[in-house]
Amino acid sequence: MKLSIIGLGKLGAPMAAVMAYKGHTVVGVDINPLYVKAIQEGRAPVNEPHLTEMIAANRGRLTATQSYEEAILATDVTFIIVPTPSGSDGRFSMEFVLQAAEQIGAALRKKQSWHLVVLSSTVMPGSVSGELLPALRKYSGKQCPKDFGLCYNPEFIALGSVVRDMLKPDMILIGESDARSGGVLEELYTGVCESNPRIQRMNHVNAELTKLSVNTFVTTKISYANMLAEICETLPEADSDVVTAALGCDTRIGPKYLRGALGYGGPCFPRDNVAFSVLARDNGVPALLAEATDAINKRQVPRLAKLVLSHLPEGGTAGVLGLSYKADTEVMEESQGAAIAQTLLAAGARVVVYDPAAMENAKRVLTGDVIFAASAAQCVQQADVLAITTPWAEFQELPLQAFQRTSGHITVLDCWRVLPREVAGAIEHYLTLGTRGERKSSVSVAPEV
């Protein structure tokens, strides 16, 4: 197929690369000339694992432009992947979507053939039919579905694994204006996805609600596991890892995201949970579960900062390993590690920090008596109490020697249990979440974040 993708940011650029990799002709559109230039030169405009090599290998099928008209007249399907920032009330703004709709509509006005428009940005339920569709009709002078189709097709991905998640999704969600539009999108994904995902087709509002519901349910699961971990910390011989491993065996529950550790962060989970609460309240429905999920999540940073401070000797240095909201990305939005570091700094502690990708961002965010270490080992060596807050693979490879001292000792709070058993077991003061006292061996379970 011939595809155009509006927005070449952290989701749009990977989508463009994946579609080109799967044999489709792709034209990317962005108002940022640097993003367009990067694609034209075969470079990735954003940082994301595997993106650079995928773009470089498929230059023959992937181009970019700042012209909506050029892209839309040359393609049959247009994806919109632009920001929908949260407002002060928690609702998602349609400002940039509607700006794109005006440009798309003007281009469609000059086109004779039928065209499919697909919105992938996260929006409030009712937005596609209530705002986007009228805008497209107004600016194109055409009718849906006679002259163009309109689908809502949000992605279920995480930064740091966008390419993998797009190639191997669990589900493809399609909110369709009509059967023809949904059929075109289903045909496209059937050839792109390598995981044979279940394809769910429905109307616009059900798809919009499903997108919010999936993320809100996952955040509820995360907060439940964190609440359970906090309970286990009060009970002798209780271990949340043992309990959640058993819970995950029940097919009604499943193991993913069921691990007592840090709270959720990033650009999607926190705001989607808030938006779901707003949606419920706007319609007269108590948002008790979503609000409880958010309240539990907000407990995690202050309680963990308090735990670090309780082990910090007078005049000592607290260390934080991990400032990105998850591994394999430099994004710090709603990062638990960064929030813990800033809370410690606000309490007057000296803090040393390190992250494999987010150091430049951290220097713009963290303020106070902070030391930016040059490596993970350097961060460990300077810390009297160390919190490992992001499960980067690099941290799993830290040798025991990094934790050894000629005098005194280091206290390690391994929030995700990333250190190997032999290293964790040899550290005199090794703490994890979800158990009372010190845990002398870590659990070999890959963290879901």
Structure confidence by residue, pLDDT tens digits, 54-68: 999 999 999 999 999
pLDDT score of 442 more than 90: no
Task: Establish if 436 belongs to a structural domain.
Answer: no
Task: Give the model's confidence band at 438: pLDDT under 50 very low, under 70 low, under 90 confident, else very high.
Answer: low
Query: Given this model, what pLDDT does residue 406 score?
Result: 82
The one catalytic residue in 151, 193, 268, 379 is 268
Task: Specify whether the CB–CB gap between 178 and 204 falls below 8 A.
Answer: no
Looking at the structure, tell me whether residues 193 and 263 fall in a common domain: no
Task: Establish if 211 belongs to a structural domain.
Answer: no
Task: Establish if 55 belongs to a structural domain.
Answer: yes
Task: Give the model's confidence band at 448: pLDDT under 50 very low, under 70 low, under 90 confident, else very high.
Answer: very low
pLDDT score of 444 more than 70: no
Arithmetic mean of pLDDT, 233-249? 95
**218: Cβ–Cβ under 8 A, 6 or more apart, which residues?**
257, 264, 269
Task: Specify whether the CB–CB gap between 110 and 73 falls below 8 A.
Answer: yes
pLDDT score of 367 more than 70: yes
Give the end of a domain, one of 145, 167, 202: 202
Looking at the structure, tell me whether residues 405 and 257 fall in a common domain: yes
State both tokens at 301.
């940073």
Q: What length is written for the chain?
A: 449
Looking at the structure, tell me whether residues 391 and 263 fall in a common domain: yes
Query: Given this model, what pLDDT does residue 67 score?
Result: 97
d(CA 94, CA 171) in angstroms, rounded, equals 25
**Domain region containing 399:** 222-431
Mean pLDDT for all residues in the chain: 95
Arithmetic mean of pLDDT, 411-432? 94
Query: Given this model, what pLDDT does residue 408 score?
Result: 84
Query: Given this model, what pLDDT does residue 376 score?
Result: 97
Looking at the structure, tell me whether residues 250 and 196 fall in a common domain: no
pLDDT score of 382 more than 60: yes
**DSSP letter at 313?**
P
Task: Establish if 333 belongs to a structural domain.
Answer: yes
Looking at the structure, tell me whether residues 309 and 411 fall in a common domain: yes
**101: Cβ–Cβ under 8 A, 6 or more apart, which residues?**
80, 132, 135, 136, 139
pLDDT score of 447 more than 80: no
Encoded amino acid at 284, one letter:
G
Task: Specify whether the CB–CB gap between 362 and 321 falls below 8 A.
Answer: no
What is the domain count for the chain? 2
Task: Give the model's confidence band at 267: pLDDT under 50 very low, under 70 low, under 90 confident, else very high.
Answer: very high
Arithmetic mean of pLDDT, 214-242? 96
Structure confidence by residue, pLDDT tens digits, 74-123: 999 999 999 999 999 999 999 999 999 999 999 999 999 999 999 999 99
pLDDT score of 443 more than 80: no
Structure confidence by residue, pLDDT tens digits, 153-187: 999 999 999 999 999 999 999 999 999 999 999 99
Axis crossing angle, helix 204-232 with helix 240-247, rounded to the nearest 10: 140
Q: Measuring CA to CA, how many Å separate 438 from each of 64, 82, 259, 315, 432?
A: 54, 46, 18, 24, 7
Pairing of strands 429-431, 411-414: parallel
Query: Given this model, what pLDDT does residue 441 score?
Result: 46
d(CA 100, CA 446) in angstroms, rounded, equals 40
Task: Establish if 437 belongs to a structural domain.
Answer: no
pLDDT score of 328 more than 60: yes
Looking at the structure, tell me whether residues 320 and 173 fall in a common domain: no
Query: Given this model, what pLDDT does residue 60 score?
Result: 93
State both tokens at 228.
């359970």
Number of C-beta neighbours around residue 211 at 10 A: 23
Looking at the structure, tell me whether residues 49 and 169 fall in a common domain: yes
Task: Give the model's confidence band at 358: pLDDT under 50 very low, under 70 low, under 90 confident, else very high.
Answer: very high
Task: Establish if 208 belongs to a structural domain.
Answer: no
Looking at the structure, tell me whether residues 285 and 335 fall in a common domain: yes
Task: Establish if 212 belongs to a structural domain.
Answer: no
Query: Given this model, what pLDDT does residue 445 score?
Result: 41
- 193 noted as active-site residue: no
**DSSP letter at 401?**
G
Looking at the structure, tell me whether residues 97 and 183 fall in a common domain: yes
Structure confidence by residue, pLDDT tens digits, 112-149: 999 999 999 999 999 999 999 999 999 999 999 999 99
Looking at the structure, tell me whether residues 93 and 8 fall in a common domain: yes
pLDDT score of 332 more than 60: yes
Query: Given this model, what pLDDT does residue 446 score?
Result: 38
**292: Cβ–Cβ under 8 A, 6 or more apart, which residues?**
223
Looking at the structure, tell me whether residues 176 and 305 fall in a common domain: no
Number of C-beta neighbours around residue 256 at 10 A: 11
pLDDT score of 190 more than 80: yes
| CATH number of the domain to which 86 belongs | 3.40.50.720
Task: Establish if 445 belongs to a structural domain.
Answer: no
Looking at the structure, tell me whether residues 195 and 332 fall in a common domain: no
Give, rounded to a whole angstrom, the gap between the first and last alpha carbons of the chain.
34
